[in-house]
Amino acid sequence: MTPPHAPTTARALATAEVCRRIVAESRRQLAEVGPAALSLRAVSRELGMAPSAIYRHFADRDALLSALIAQTFTDLGEAVEVAVAAAGPARIDTWRAWTRAVREWAVARPFDYALVYGSPVPGYAAPRDTVAPAVRVLQPILDMASGLTPSGSTVDTPPLGDSLDSMADYIDAPAEVAARAIEAWATIMGFLSLYLFGHLVGAVDSSDTLWERVVEQTAADLGLTEPDEPLPGGRS
Amino acid sequence: MTPPHAPTTARALATAEVCRRIVAESRRQLAEVGPAALSLRAVSRELGMAPSAIYRHFADRDALLSALIAQTFTDLGEAVEVAVAAAGPARIDTWRAWTRAVREWAVARPFDYALVYGSPVPGYAAPRDTVAPAVRVLQPILDMASGLTPSGSTVDTPPLGDSLDSMADYIDAPAEVAARAIEAWATIMGFLSLYLFGHLVGAVDSSDTLWERVVEQTAADLGLTEPDEPLPGGRS
DNA sequence: TGTACATCAGTGAACGCGCGTTCACTGATGTAC
DNA sequence: TGTACATCAGTGAACGCGCGTTCACTGATGTAC
């Protein structure tokens, strides 16, 4: 009944559990001191283990950091998937749900947000393992953009070269749509970063109403506000 | 001839020079290891001084960090001022010059960018001294936004509360304009952050053409692309 | 102009600290017969 | 089912390291008369 490689023995279960605890405690401490100051010794101390025990589960400090980053992306990815699944079927429903989910997640866990979308940790190179979880976060809006046709542009914009071709292929939409999707994403992430990193402190009393505006404006730039937009699954 | 408080004695000149060298060497090292790992000892070692000598110029490590942040903002502020002064008089000239200057500065000094616009250093609270240099960077576009009237909106946007009133007062423009200015700023900073922090790696081959689009799109959202816009200084 | 005193930038030794990582080990868990 | 052996998660001591900060000091620079 169980899959062939699932951990079934007591030892394997215990190992998985300890591994989970290390990651959990590390994420907790990371929120207090930041990724650069994350200490294996402090983590092991808090868990009541010898510092060297960590090395049974992670090759070194960088490996633990990679696991934390992957885990954090996965966490956010699951949050947006739940939110998008609970939203309506129209593209704009997806966009509103996705942006709302990202914001709520980020505001609740500013240090997790900083870990994955803030300054890279110097001297640390993100390995391949973190790419898939990072893309998973974006997948709902990539799916949403699929098949979208550019519309409503009243602006003369410079021509795009072929630099977006691979993304356009991936989402099965014109490069124009890929460009607008990246712009909308950049606006959302930029606003969150400015807010969470303290750059709006003197300028904006409460970011709530402004945030609603940003979401609607980006939706309009994406061409999601036309009433009769066709959906990928038909329903004209 | 010299202002009353200018350092004129040999000792005062030497002090200022050493102080300058500490800041310069610190910024150099910061680009290699990041703000959290900046080491007073390493800086003093490189300058051929005793570690304790730093304390004649900065109260502690945090004071040095504050000076670095202020200095970095000032550096960027001067760069944008030069660029804006060299540009044409129309609002859109200012916007194009400002965005271009910020981007070129950031791409040339990604760690400086990360220091001031990336994740905050945990456990470090930016003191008041860094606020003025941070605002200086924005001043050209705040001036540009002054007197701007909202236009060209084809989107139904949620009403703004009074959360932008102080900023609207400051730039002497409607809250609507303040909101659009912050949105445009967020888009620019978001795009730069995604690019510099490595989040566009798989999606965008070259960011140049896409960047041009972002600038023009944000200019349009700000209402800067109407041909007959009135300028603050007349010239209708 | 010359002298006596005050200032203060920089020295170098020392403090106590926590860090990542290694290594030989122990002893419970798992496996093969 | 029982026994002998293998595995391997966790231990605890030790390594060498660099860190921020303090303190009494020295000696050149500045100042007052």
pLDDT at position A7: 55
Mean pLDDT to the nearest integer, B83-96: 97
**Residues sharing a CB contact under 8 Å with residue A207, sequence separation 6 or more, in sequence order:** A191, A195, A200, B163
Q: What is the pTM of this model?
A: 0.92
Name the residue in chain B with its Cα closest to that of A167: B203
Beta bridge partners of B234: B231
Q: Which of A117, A152, A209 sits opposite B161 (nearest CB)?
A: A209
Percent of chain B with pLDDT over 90: 77
Rounded distance, CA B224 to CA B127, Å?
A: 35
| Of the ranges A110-124, B131-145, B146-160, the best mean pLDDT one | B131-145
Residue A11: alpha-carbon gap to chain centroid: 33
Name the residue in chain A with its Cα closest to that of B200: A182
Mean pLDDT to the nearest integer, B16-31: 96
Rounded distance, CA A181 to CA A201, Å?
A: 28
Rounded distance, CA A4 to CA B170, Å?
A: 66
**Residues sharing a CB contact under 8 Å with residue B78, sequence separation 6 or more, in sequence order:** none
Per-residue tens of pLDDT for chain A, all 236 residues: 334 445 578 899 999 999 999 999 999 999 888 999 999 999 999 999 999 999 999 999 999 999 999 999 999 999 999 999 999 999 999 999 999 999 999 999 999 999 999 999 877 888 888 999 999 999 999 999 998 988 766 667 788 889 999 999 999 999 999 999 999 999 999 999 999 999 999 899 989 999 999 999 999 999 998 654 444 443 33
pLDDT at position A225: 84
pLDDT at position B220: 93
Rounded distance, CA A123 to CA B217, Å?
A: 36
What is residue A90's DSSP assignment?
S
- Read off the tokens for A33: 């001191």
Rounded distance, CA B69 to CA A126, Å?
A: 26
- Is the pLDDT confidence value at B232 over 50? no
- Is the pLDDT confidence value at B229 over 70? no
Rounded distance, CA B115 to CA A10, Å?
A: 47
**Residues sharing a CB contact under 8 Å with residue B218, sequence separation 6 or more, in sequence order:** B95, B99, B183, B184, B187, B188
Nucleotide nearest A53, CA–C1', reads: D10
- Within 10 Å of residue B39's Cβ, how many Cβ atoms? 13
pLDDT at position B154: 60
Q: Which of A36, A158, A208 sits opposite B213 (nearest CB)?
A: A158
CA of B59 to C1' of D19 (A): 17
